[in-house]
Amino acid sequence: MHIMEGYLPAKHALAWTAASAPFIVYGTARLARVLKEKPETKMLLGVSSAFTFVLSALKLPSVTGSCSHPTGTGLGTILFGPWVMPVIGCIVLLFQALLLAHGGITTLGANTFSMAIVGPFVAWWIMLGGKKLGMPLPVRVFLAASLGDLATYVTTSLQLAIAFPDPVGGIAASFAKFSTIFAFTQVPLAVIEGIVTVFVFNLILTYNYQDLSELQVISLVRPKEVDDKC
């Protein structure tokens, strides 16, 4: 989902940066507040960041014959709500842009928007919606992580389609082409991200219920489910 350095026309690059900026600013304020009011969650925040670091570094093969990587933003979103991952995701993307020539400074705004904003918010809404529908916790975590991952890649396809509309079919045709590269490739990887997130979330729930009660997640977990932990 990394749009390469210089591959978004300047106007688009600027627009996506402007779109991402408020999320980063507000997210940073929220993050600072969480750390100040609940310093004991520092470690869990570290784990959420580490999870994104690991998953976004793993380029996995897909059935389409190309390689792509998960995003890892679901876990932190499920634990801390949707406002923390924009900041963490942006830092990860910056690291990859500066040291790995993956993504770029000019495309940081667009990449942050897809990976660190759309993905987490979709994941968060699925957590909320799933609770309303009475879905079991592991199912909600799986769907949130995997569909958040997929939403990121759909967003990337859309961003590129808007910037490079097909001369014949326009944005729609272009979106179909970019989706074949990004979104289809991502389907099996999104399932992988969902499963891995369920595993790690389960570990955290098993050993660290105390910290979790401090976080957003507790409002999403029905008490019975916590007792069911094994």
Partner 1 sequence: MLKTSHKWVLGVVLLLILILPFLMAPHKGDAELFTGADSQAEGLIGEITPGYKPWFNPVFEPPSGEIESLLFSLQAALGAGVIGYYVGYNRRKSGDEA
Where in 91-130 is the site for partner 1 (CB under 8 A)?
A: 95-102, 104-106
Q: Which of 154, 160, 161 is nearest to 182 (CA)?
A: 154
Which residues fall within 8 angstroms of residue 74, CB to CB, at 6 or more apart? Answer: 119, 120, 123, 141, 144, 145, 146, 148, 149, 193, 194, 197
User: Over the range 201-218, which residues count as b (16 or more CB within 10 Å of their CB) and which as e?
Assistant: beebbeeeeebbeebbbe
Which residues fall within 8 angstroms of residue 22, CB to CB, at 6 or more apart? Answer: none
Binding of partner 1 by 84 (CB under 8 A): no
Q: Which is nearer to partner 1, 56 or 216 (CB)?
A: 56
Q: Which is nearer to partner 1, 65 or 223 (CB)?
A: 65
Binding of partner 1 by 5 (CB under 8 A): yes
x-or-dash string of contact with partner 1, 11-40, rule CB under 8 A: ------------------------------
- Closest approach, Cβ 103 to partner 1, in A, equals 8
Using CB under 8 A, pick the residue from 138, 162, 176, 214 that binds partner 1: 138
- Closest approach, Cβ 151 to partner 1, in A, equals 16
Using CB under 8 A, pick the residue from 61, 129, 213, 219 that binds partner 1: 61
What is the rounded distance in angstroms from the CA atom of residue 178 to the CA atom of residue 171? 10
What SS3 class is residue 112? helix
Contacting partner 1 within 207-226 (CB under 8 A): 207-208, 225
What SS3 class is residue 218? helix
Choose the stretch contacting partner 1; rule: CB under 8 A; options: 14-22, 28-36, 46-54, 78-86: 46-54
CB atoms within 10 A of CB 52: 24
Adjacent-strand bridge partners of 61? 67
Binding of partner 1 by 51 (CB under 8 A): yes
Contacting partner 1 within 147-206 (CB under 8 A): 156, 160, 164-167, 174, 177-178, 181-182, 185-186, 188, 191-192, 195-196, 198-203, 205-206
Q: What value does the CA radius of gyration of the chain take, rounded to a whole number of Å?
A: 18
